[in-house]
Amino acid sequence: MCSSVSHAFVERFILTPFGHLVAGVQKRPVLFRSPRPGDRKNPKLQCWIDLNGKKMPVYAWEIVPAVESGKVIFRTSGERGGKQLDTTNARQAFMEFLKLGFYTHAQRGFFANHLLSKRPHITARLSKRFPEIIVDEAQDTNVWLLHLLRKLRKEGTQVTLVGDPDQCIYSFAMADAASLFSLRQEWQIPEKPLSKSFRCNDQIAIAVKSMGSNADFTGSGDPGSEARRSFVLRETTSSFQDGIGAFSQMLANAGIDPAKSAIICRANDHLESVRGQVNYINLSGKTKRLAESAFYRDCRKDYKAAFDGVEEVLRELIWDDKTWDAMDDAPDSKDAEKFRETLWQFVKNQHGLPPVSLNSEVWINTMKDRLATLISDLGVSPMLSVGKTIQKRGLEDSQLALPLFEEQKLFPNIRHDTIHQVKGESIDAVLVIGSAKFWNLVVSAVTAGENNEERRLAYVAMTRARHLLVLCLPKNHYDKCSKQWRNWGFAVAEFEK
């Protein structure tokens, strides 16, 4: 199983059938989607932190269980700074959350371990049902899933780990690059290393080798052309136009179809700069989240993300237990199917969820009208008036006449994604974009022999390239470090502006 399958395993075989036993209730727990209007007013779902001299509530769905020095602790979410919470208060809020029948992505693994610790006979039954487990992408397995594997292995399950520590890029989700090495010692696992990459050619492998920890790393063969190798180029613009222009020329020189290439960005703000001009970023609250849903649909063709975003807003707007009970407890019921179908028709159609190409003022006014119609079509009533929810707050007057998102049309056949989105793929040609800070941290880590997150992200991005790899380096970083990149095996890209 891979990391995503591991989470599905936890939900299907542990939490859904047995999760209610821990909370002592009849309702089987489900993954929490979004807070309902009454949830924020429930004092049992709150614990408190001191933030800049002020007492601030932390809600149960923002609590993240973690392990520190072998002990369970509770922190706020990354958006709240990851601050440590009072263990007793946080645990009480968490348990109240479970009694209501909910858990979050961040709480799922802890919940499963807590359950199996209280009911060890379930672990024994699971081990008999799954006598052998193969974990792919094992370097991305977080601390709670590793504890779960330990429990199953102790009961007799044979566990095989397949992974590459250099590709551990989910530390924010409590994955640890050192976990494979520690488990190899703890479990006395025989190691069977692989050094040859069938994804990239020999020249790219030589250049990328410095990013990883495998000194024997080799490629799949001779590139056959000087145009098919690793390059660095000096970027002089904030919108990466030098790099994008050069990449287009280099694709032609290397004889690579643009449709089989990708621009890979370190951060989402770089991705948005490449894709076009973003104006909705200054909106706030539910209005911004609905605009993001429209962006996912129109620009990423990610209809699921668009659907989920709109549904989350509705869950906060509509206070009707029966509606969400039908969705969560009986997802195959006719009422639930009708609800989802109505929402899906709204999301997929530009006559429902307005397109991001509309001017901001027009989009906001249209969104108000259509959201009110949607809620009426769903047969429910909003907790708050839609007019008070969908507002232009955050936008300057000059932005109201601009499209929410103005798409960049320079290279429509080249895909644009973040590093996390392309992990596991093989792409004919790759242009990697990052800030000077990112590249500085990469060079510093490689020079010092450190294995930090930035170095691993760079390694993952670079090893996606099969025939052509181009690094777009901001001029201040390039001027300081270009010699180092050349020493590692990167050629300097020459192009005509």
Residue 282, pLDDT above cutoff 60: yes
> What's the confidence (pLDDT) of residue 274?
63
| 461-482 residues labelled b (16+ CB within 10 A) or e (exposed) | bbbbbbbbbbbbbbeebbeebb
> What is the DSSP code string of 158-226?
EEEE---GGG---GGGTB-TTHHHHHHHHHTPPP----B-SSS-HHHHHHHGGGSS-TT-B-SS--SST
Residue 411, pLDDT above cutoff 60: no
Residue 266 and residue 418: Cα distance in Å, rounded? 6
- The 3-class secondary structure across 346-387, one letter per residue, is HHHCCCCCCCCCCEHHHHHHHHHHHHHHHHHHCCCCECCCHH
* Whether 162 and 99 share a structural domain: yes
Residue 420 and residue 228: Cα distance in Å, rounded? 24
Residue 221 and residue 339: Cα distance in Å, rounded? 54
Mind listing the pLDDT tens digit for each residue in 67-86? 888 899 999 987 777 889 99
Residue 163 and residue 176: Cα distance in Å, rounded? 12
CA angle 100, 104, 108 (to 5 degrees): 100
Mind listing the pLDDT tens digit for each residue in 204-244? 999 999 999 888 899 999 998 999 999 999 999 887 888 98
Counting the structural domains of the chain, the total is: 3
Mean pLDDT confidence for 323-328: 72
* Whether 62 and 153 share a structural domain: yes
* Whether 24 and 170 share a structural domain: yes
* Listed residues 161, 187, 213: the one ending a domain: 187
Domain presence at residue 148: yes
Mind listing the pLDDT tens digit for each residue in 246-265? 998 999 999 999 989 999 98
* Whether 222 and 171 share a structural domain: no
> What's the confidence (pLDDT) of residue 308?
92
Mind listing the pLDDT tens digit for each residue in 433-492? 999 999 999 999 999 999 899 999 999 999 999 999 999 999 999 999 999 999 999 999
* Whether 317 and 392 share a structural domain: yes
* Whether 124 and 217 share a structural domain: no
Using DSSP bridges, classify how beta strands 63-68 and 71-76 pair: parallel, antiparallel or unpaired: antiparallel
Mind listing the pLDDT tens digit for each residue in 114-160? 999 999 999 999 999 999 999 888 888 888 999 999 999 999 999 99
Residue 256 and residue 461: Cα distance in Å, rounded? 18
Domain presence at residue 110: yes
Q: Comparing 100-109, 118-127, 176-185, 327-336, which segment has the lowest mean pLDDT? A: 327-336
* Whether 290 and 268 share a structural domain: no
* Whether 217 and 347 share a structural domain: no
Answer yes or no: are the C-beta atoms of 433 and 395 closer than 8 Å: no
The better pLDDT of the pair 14, 175 is held by 14
Handedness of CA 18, 19, 22, 24 (dihedral sign): negative
* Whether 336 and 436 share a structural domain: no
> What's the confidence (pLDDT) of residue 262?
92
Residue 29 and residue 238: Cα distance in Å, rounded? 47
Domain coverage including residue 117 = 3-187
- pLDDT cut 70: percent of the chain above it: 91
Domain presence at residue 423: yes
